């Protein structure tokens, strides 16, 4: 199902023509309205008129998270503040937050992009949407709320947390759609099992999950445990929150809302564009945002782009499921390791729960990786010998598949804190100056 057939099935020629027009408008506008961009363009020796073809976007300077912090709170605003009708923010893990202001038009675009996400997930006005993304400064709660309201769903704004209440509401109200992070979906599944409620027998049929990396095996685990189809949403505060990309019934990559966001992939080290289809860092330029347009924002997310015919009929380019963030990449025995690779391998081991944490320590000059994963209750309780056997099995599997030696700790059930939002997967215990 399509929400906006015209926008979602445009020919590449028509789309690129529209993108160029919107790109030129955006560049001209930020040059005029935002001193930060004026300065950056000057330093790069570029004028708005230099953007004649879509590829010319590569001449523009990148914007990075520290730029947003330096310009905190509203230095990147391109409209008078009286035109701002909403401000979201993301705290990140350190330092000052970054802000996401919206005009009334921006909220309209956001609702449209999210309505496409819901519709692609097979959600209609008949559905009851339990929205367990956090409401507040985080863009998840109110972003999903806007989209579901536009589709005319009945929205139940549970926000995140109070897991037992989530399950009671899910059962009593007959929620058909659940929106939250994938790790919270797993927390809900587990709690429901403990409450002896079989979610598979409830009307719930679709989930729209995002805001953190998760692998295909994790998706399958969630689908099996909740008895639903697990769909995906991708986005970031800097670009207006969720609604940047979404997957469709093919569940094979996420379509980017290309009439709103121009995507590029660059080499994460050299920042040069990579050939189409190759993995690298995802860069976005907003094409329609009014309050805070973004020029070539470096997301730090690693993925690749595929422009191919999709079974759903959409022509919008697809990005692969995010592989990981450059921030989260570890170098273990000289090998680049992303948490998602370990996740995928752990989910193949039947003796463990899909609850894990990666601890990184220094051992001499080398980084050492400790994989903490919960044993299933009966496995953990079978005694030390059984635990050693499973630890060795997992370490052997990781060594065999990735060529790295890791220490595996099979920890007791419930050892790892359950997530209600974004899960904490990596605990970095290296001294700051050695990371």
Contact footprint for ligand DLL (CB under 6 A): 90, 133, 139-140, 210-213, 232-237, 241-242, 299, 301, 322, 325
Closest residue to ligand DLL, judged by C-beta, is 210
CB of 144 to ligand DLL, least distance (A): 7
Cα–Cα distance measured from residue 421 to residue 435, given in angstroms and rounded to the nearest whole number: 26
Roughly what angle, to the nearest 10 degrees, separates helices 139-150 and 104-120? 70
Nearer to ligand DLL, 27 or 206 (CB): 206
Nearer to ligand DLL, 339 or 375 (CB): 339
Which of 243, 264, 215, 67 has its CA nearest to residue 150? Answer: 243
Round to whole Å and give the CA distance between 434 and 430.
6
Of residues 132 and 192, the one with the C-beta less far from ligand DLL: 132
User: Do residues 2 and 313 lie in contact, with contact meaning Cβ atoms separated by under 8 Å?
Assistant: yes
Would you say 41 or 234 has its CB closer to ligand DLL?
Answer: 234
Whole-number minimum distance, CB 171 to ligand DLL, in Å? Answer: 24
For 235, the token pair is 């986005």
CB of 232 to ligand DLL, least distance (A): 5
For ligand DLL, which is the closer residue by CB, 213 or 375?
A: 213
For ligand DLL, give the closer residue by CB, 34 or 113: 113
Query: Smallest distance, Å, CB 31 to ligand DLL?
Result: 26
Are the C-beta atoms of 260 and 297 separated by less than 8 Å?
A: no
Strand 177-180 versus strand 84-90 pairing type: unpaired
Nearer Cβ to ligand DLL (258/301):
301
- The minimum distance between CB 139 and ligand DLL, in angstroms, equals 5
Measured CA to CA, the distance from residue 269 to residue 284 in angstroms comes to 17
Q: How far is the CB of 239 from ligand DLL (least distance, A)?
A: 9
Burial classification of residue 435, based on how many CB atoms lie within 10 Å of its CB (0-12 exposed, 13-18 middle, 19 or more buried): exposed
User: Shortest distance, CB of residue 323 to ligand DLL, whole angstroms?
Assistant: 9
Q: Phi and psi at residue 324, in whole multiples of 5°?
A: 165, 180
125, 124, 108, 118: which is closest to 247 by C-alpha? 118
Give the distance from CA 175 to its chain's centroid.
24
Name the β-bridge partners of 388.
none
Nearer Cβ to ligand DLL, position 153 or 211?
Answer: 211
Tokens of 220: 């399958």
Smallest separation, CB 236 to ligand DLL (Å): 4
Q: Is-contact 44 59, C-beta < 8 A?
A: yes
What count of Cα atoms within 13 Å lies in the side-chain half-sphere of residue 222?
29
Compare residues 15 and 254 and give the one whose CB is closer to ligand DLL: 254
**CB of residue 404 to ligand DLL, shortest distance in Å:** 23
Q: Are 296 and 57 in contact (CB under 8 A)?
A: yes
The answer to whether the CB of 209 falls within 8 A of the CB of 187 is no
Nearer to ligand DLL, 101 or 242 (CB): 242
Least distance between ligand DLL and beta carbon 325 (Å)? 5
Going by C-alpha positions, the residue among 223, 204, 206 that lies closest to residue 214 is: 223
The partner residues of 301 in beta bridges, in order of sequence, read 325
198 vs 220, beta carbon nearer ligand DLL: 220
How far apart are the C-alpha atoms of 52 and 54, rounded to whole Å?
Answer: 7
Nearest distance in Å: CB 303, ligand DLL: 9
Q: Label residue 5 exposed, middle or buried (CB < 10 Å: 0-12, 13-18, 19+).
A: exposed
């Amino acid at each position: 199902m399509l929400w906006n057939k015209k926008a979602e099935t445009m020919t590449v020629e028509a789309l690129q023509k529209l993108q160029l027009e919107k790109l030129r408008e955006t560049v001209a506008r930020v040059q005029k309205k935002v001193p930060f961009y004026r300065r950056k363009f000057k330093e790069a020796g570029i004028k708005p008129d230099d953007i004649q073809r879509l590829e010319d976007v590569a001449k523009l300077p990148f914007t990075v998270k520290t730029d947003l912090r330096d310009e905190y709170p509203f230095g990147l605003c391109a409209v008078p503040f009286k035109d701002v009708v909403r401000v979201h923010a993301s705290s990140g893990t350190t330092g000052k937050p970054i802000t996401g202001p919206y005009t009334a038009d921006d909220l309209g675009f956001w609702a449209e992009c999210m309505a496409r996400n819901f519709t692609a997930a097979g959600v209609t006005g008949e559905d009851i949407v339990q929205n367990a993304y956090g409401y507040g400064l985080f863009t998840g709660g109110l972003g999903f709320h806007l989209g579901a309201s536009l589709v005319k769903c009945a929205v139940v704004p549970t926000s995140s947390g109070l897991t037992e209440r989530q399950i009671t509401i899910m059962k009593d109200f007959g929620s058909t759609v659940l929106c939250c992070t994938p790790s919270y979906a797993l927390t809900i599944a587990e709690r429901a099992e403990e409450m002896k409620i079989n979610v598979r027998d409830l009307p719930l049929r679709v989930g729209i999950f995002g805001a953190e990396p998760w692998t295909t095996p994790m998706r399958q685990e969630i689908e099996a445990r909740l008895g639903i189809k697990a769909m995906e949403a991708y986005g970031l505060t800097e670009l207006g929150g969720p609604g940047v990309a979404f997957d469709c019934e093919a569940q094979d990559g996420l379509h980017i809302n290309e009439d709103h966001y121009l995507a590029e992939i660059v080499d994460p080290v050299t920042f040069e564009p990579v050939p189409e289809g190759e993995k690298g860092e995802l860069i976005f330029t907003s094409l329609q945002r009014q309050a805070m347009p973004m020029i070539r924002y470096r997301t730090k997310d690693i993925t690749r782009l595929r422009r191919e015919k999709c079974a759903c009929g959409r022509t919008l380019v697809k990005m692969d499921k995010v592989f990981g963030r450059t921030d989260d990449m570890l170098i273990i025995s000289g090998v680049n390791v992303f948490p998602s690779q370990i996740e995928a391998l752990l989910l193949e081991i039947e003796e463990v729960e899909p609850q894990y944490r990666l601890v990184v320590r220094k051992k001499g000059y080398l980084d050492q990786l400790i994989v903490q994963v919960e044993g299933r209750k009966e496995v953990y309780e079978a005694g030390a010998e059984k635990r050693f056997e499973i630890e060795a099995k997992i370490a052997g599997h990781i060594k065999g598949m990735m060529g790295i030696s890791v220490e595996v700790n099979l920890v007791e059930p419930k050892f790892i804190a359950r997530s209600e939002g974004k899960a904490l997967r990596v605990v970095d215990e290296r001294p700051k100056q050695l990371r």
